[in-house]
Chain A
Amino acid sequence: MEDLVSIAFSVAITTFVINMIVGTYGIFVKHNVIKKILALIIFSDSLNMLSIAIGFRIAEKYPSPPILTTEPRDPRDLTQFADISVDPLPQALVITAIVIGFSVFAFLLSLAVLYYKYNGTLDIRTSLEVEENEEGFQ
């Protein structure tokens, strides 16, 4: 069972890393603003997943969420909890990152709408060429 979990964990980590590489490629290579923002979202979400995975642990049988449910608490429950529960800190930090990301993406999308309104295109390269020509004529 533990071997299976280890393999699944490794596959998940590899997937997140591949997604991040794809996202980075999209951010820096694609010229369409919406594609750039989508790539940024893929990159950011993969990074969040990878961060949560850092707090994961492979425990006997299966790891538990970081919530102690037994009442009244026995010292043995606490020991068991410390042995099998995943680290809650990365999850708490990722929530913060998700909230920040949400506001940034909302703002970037509104900028993309404005960009289309001003230029009639979402291609950053085309818009740059037009402006360079305009400057050249001046």
Chain B
Amino acid sequence: MDSLGSSLIPFICLMLAVLVPLTYIAFGKKVGSVVVLLGSITVLILALKLFVTVSRVGVIVYRFGGFPPPLGVVYVFDEVNSVLALSTSFVFLLSILYTLTFEGDRYENAVYSLFYLLMSGVYGCLFTGDIFNFYVSIELVAVSSYVLTGFNRGKRAVRAAIVYGIAGTAITSFLLLASFIIYGSYGTLNIADIALKSRNTSVEVLFSGSVFGDIVLPSKVTLALITWIFLFKSGIMPNHFWLPEAYSVAPLPALVLFSASADTLGIYGLIRLYHLVFSSESVIRDFRATMLGILLLLGTASAIMSSMLVAKQKSIRKLIAYSSISQFSLALLGIVSGTEEGLAGSILHLVVNGLGDAAVLYSVGILKYYSANLPQGYKHKPSVLLAKAVLIVGLINLFGVIPIIPGFWSKALLVLGFVKSGIAIAAVAVLVSAGLCAIGYFSALVRVLQKYKNGSTISSTGTKCLTNVVAVIILSLTLIACVGLGISITLYSSVRAKVIELGYNAMNSWRYIAAVLP
């Protein structure tokens, strides 16, 4: 029963994607907005419950229809996906609050439907224990991302959506091909079953039997194909061509959701691929080592090149786009390190990047709103000061140099992982990338503070009380999440141990296999 509520998260999102427009049509905007908000709060509560339950009992498996694995589809909940689900749900709630308050008039109810559709896919990808179900969920994420990218219409938005849509559809089709190659050689689509057979080719599993013929070549093709797909999904250079364009035209809350949830799936998928499905014990361990070497080169080059581009950006959206590529590249290097600390740093870095991007984008959005709607001298308003504080914390979080901010700890863990595994080049890449990004972050900070220094000179319509309250809630929640996480990691060794344990659990594939195939 522990897993029933959690397994409902993707379905609640899917149900709300349909219910929200219907509610808007049948009962009007007010009731529709309440449903949208309550839905996101419910999802956050369920994700929090999942996180607490998994921390207490370990891996949980939910079998759809009660079919014993490898028959049927299973959802597998462990520490890694429960942490990512929690951070994603938190950012999702912030996005819903922001859209309802600041962009509700601009976007119609379709945007909420697309948000829920996107989140349904994201949770599906995080929880699923079946490779074909992963493909379906990633298609759900992809389709809603294409629509959100082109949502504002206009020349640039349509072009960005077409480029993203065509390239994305072609590349996710390769995931379908990879699934069938796996099925043709392993006789199963269950991830735990594939992981077991890739370690021991002679094993006979009830219902799926043993492998068919030589699985070495199909496994190598699959590993290479899926790696390419995930690199595209997370925008690691040179597969990043769609990302800056999509980030510069999508609605602001959609951009936050891309960076905090949808685009982290590539890195999450690579963690599962290299440390669960084809781990260091698999039959293709030599080829895996070669691929990890390629990923090391790609990740290092991508981190440094995208950081150089961060330093050049004049638009905050493009800055966040290249910054996200840089942070995802560092998280990729954590996977390559193959150490507990490196993997823990990688997972924490995904969470930190999502929080940092949300802090920066929402504080800038709120400052822009106040600047347009309040008269001169608005800068001493407490919520404006709070927005500026959150912007500074968000940028410091992305920079990652102050210990009370979690960005420091994710980078520290990554460097520790690289030192342990003897990959000096990756440790240098973290430092160089942080230094280069800092130029972009601080020039953006100065520009934003300068730009929104004065209030409206044309007409000041004033702000509603509710808008101010929600702005304070969004900013306070973001600030508490960033600083609270950082302080708890800094002060409590038990929290640090828990974070490192994430890396250990991500690498402990036998525990995952034993939970699914008892």
Chain A residues within 8 Å of B, Cβ to Cβ: 24, 27-28, 33, 36-37, 40, 43-44, 47, 50-51, 54, 89-90, 93, 96-97, 100-101, 103-104, 107-108, 111-112, 114-115, 118-119, 124, 127-128, 131
Q: Does B170 contact A96, Cβ atoms closer than 8 Å?
A: no
Interface membership of B15, Cβ < 8 A: no
The CA-CA distance from A40 to B136 in the complex, in Å, is 18
CB-CB under 8 A from B161, the residues of chain A are 111
Tell me whether B65 is interfacial, beta carbon within 8 Å: no
Q: If A51-B177, A96-B136, A118-B158 touch, does A111 touch B150 (CB 8 Å cutoff)?
A: yes
Q: Determine how close the nearest CB of chain A comes to the CB of B96; give it in whole angstroms.
A: 24
Judged by a CB distance under 8 angstroms, whether B376 is at the interface is: no
List residues of chain B with CB within 8 A of the CB of A115.
Answer: 158-159, 162
- Say whether, besides A114-B153, A115-B159, A127-B159, A108 and B173 are in contact (CB < 8 Å): no
Q: Which of B153, B159, B165, B176 contacts A108 (CB 8 A)?
A: B165
Residues on A with beta carbons closer than 8 Å to the beta carbon of B181: 54
B274 within 8 A of A: no
26 A-B pairs with C-beta separation under 8 A: A24-B170, A33-B162, A33-B166, A40-B166, A40-B169, A43-B170, A44-B173, A47-B173, A51-B176, A51-B177, A54-B181, A54-B183, A90-B180, A96-B132, A97-B176, A100-B136, A104-B142, A104-B146, A104-B165, A104-B169, A111-B146, A114-B158, A115-B159, A118-B158, A124-B162, A124-B163
A32 to B314 Cα, complex, angstroms: 31
- The answer to whether A104 and B143 have CB atoms under 8 Å apart is yes
Cα–Cα, bound, A36→B159 (Å): 13
| Smallest CB-CB A-B distances: 5 pairs | A51-B180, A54-B184, A118-B155, A100-B139, A27-B170
Measured between beta carbons, the chain A residues less than 8 angstroms from B166 are 27, 33, 36-37, 40, 108
If A50-B177, A100-B139, A103-B143 touch, whether A111 touches B184 (CB-CB below 8 Å) is no
A9 to chain B, nearest CB (A): 14
Main secondary structure of the interface of B (DSSP, over half): helix
Total chain B interface residues with beta-carbon distance under 8 A:
31
CA–CA, A24 to B136, complex, Å? 21
Q: Give B181's nearest chain A residue, CB to CB.
A: A54
Q: How far is the CA of A50 from the CA of B161 in the complex (A)?
A: 29
Given contact pairs A36-B166, A111-B162, A124-B159, a sample of 19 additional A-B residue pairs in the complex whose CB atoms are under 8 Å apart: A24-B170, A27-B170, A33-B162, A43-B173, A44-B169, A50-B180, A51-B180, A54-B180, A54-B181, A90-B180, A93-B179, A101-B169, A104-B146, A107-B146, A107-B147, A107-B165, A112-B162, A124-B163, A128-B159
Q: Are A47 and B176 in contact (CB under 8 A)?
A: yes
B220 close to A (CB within 8 Å): no
Q: Which of B132, B161, B163, B173 is most buried by chain A, counting CB atoms within 10 A of its CB?
A: B173
Q: With an 8 A cutoff between CB atoms, is B154 at the interface?
A: yes
Residues on B facing A (Cβ under 8 Å): 132, 135-136, 139, 142-143, 146-147, 150, 153-156, 158-159, 161-163, 165-167, 169-170, 173, 176-177, 179-181, 183-184
Q: Are B136 and A90 in contact, with the CB atoms below 8 A?
A: no
Provide the residues of chain A in CB contact with B135, threshold 8 Å: 97
Interface centre among B142, B154, B170 (most CB of A within 10 A): B170
Using CB atoms, name the residue of chain B closest to A116.
Answer: B158
B56 CB to closest chain A CB (Å) equals 35
- Closest A residue to B167 by beta carbon equals A27
Q: Return chain A residues, CB-CB under 8 Å to B156.
A: 131
For residue B136, which residue of chain A has the nearest CB?
Answer: A96
In the complex formed, the residue of B with least CB distance to A23 is B170
Cα distance A119–B156 in the bound complex, in angstroms? 10
Chain A residues closer than 8 Å to B136, beta-carbon distance: 96, 100
